[in-house]
Homo-oligomer: A and B are copies of this chain.
């Protein structure tokens, strides 16, 4: 598993720039920075805690639990293109085997298949299941996977929706307290600053964490759906006894032209 480069760049840049902004706003005084922006436990509790509470109210418990597992996998994903070229090579390999020695010959190889989706598909083909049944079962599994991933992204998106809302509620709470007691004008500015901190926290949670993570998960899901669709196409084609070259060509329609030419070139080198 390769670490996902764009996440590293993104976190460094996104958090670094905001950090820089905080340092400059505090005039480089780290103590002031801490006091003004970070050492605000009540604002933090209200915005982060309150919005997490709203997420729990919004969502069945399993989805929240599953999210942690999903996020771990996201941070260490292989690059998509490598995976695609490996997948095409693997499926073409099975097609060659099936063409030479019959589909049943794949039975001996199911043990070594790591991906459980490919394994299920090959086994169904080996068992002689009707093509439309194979497609039905694998498509249902693909759709279930997509639904589960959307549920997981939904938890993040709900947090990203709730955090600014709780931030705004916190700011309103602070403003009301401040406005009700304006006897000492010198406290108005600092009180309003504290009130605004919750809006700032809410916006940061949403735009620095929730929305970017949900978008990345969405992109990963789309890749996984495409991958599963490629596998379904390949297995149906293999079962149909298609030429390995035909199988490969079908799968290549899913990838972008430049990669397609590279793969076609690599293929002809063999």
Q: Give A residues with C-beta under 8 Å from B.
A: 4-7, 9-18, 20-22, 24-26, 36-37, 42, 45-46, 49-64, 66, 79-81, 116, 137, 140-141, 144, 147-148, 151, 158, 161-162, 165-166, 168-170, 172-182, 189-190, 192-193, 196-200, 203-204, 206-208, 211-213, 215-216, 219-220, 222-223, 226, 249-250, 253-257
Contact = CB atoms under 8 A, between A and B. Distances in A.
Given A24-B42, A168-B203, 6 more contacts: A4-B60, A4-B61, A21-B50, A55-B212, A58-B215, A137-B253
Q: How many copies does the complex hold?
A: 5
B46 A18 contact: yes
10 contacts: A6-B56, A6-B57, A6-B60, A18-B46, A18-B166, A20-B46, A21-B173, A137-B253, A176-B193, A179-B190
A176 B25 contact: yes
> Binding site of A, secondary structure by majority: helix, strand, loop or mixed?
helix
B219 A60 contact: yes
B6 A61 contact: yes
B169 A204 contact: yes
The 5 closest A-B pairs by CB, nearest first: A14-B53, A13-B53, A10-B56, A10-B57, A57-B212
Contacts of A168: 203
Contact of A140 (B55, B64, B80, B253): B253
Contacts of A14: 50-51, 53-54, 56-57
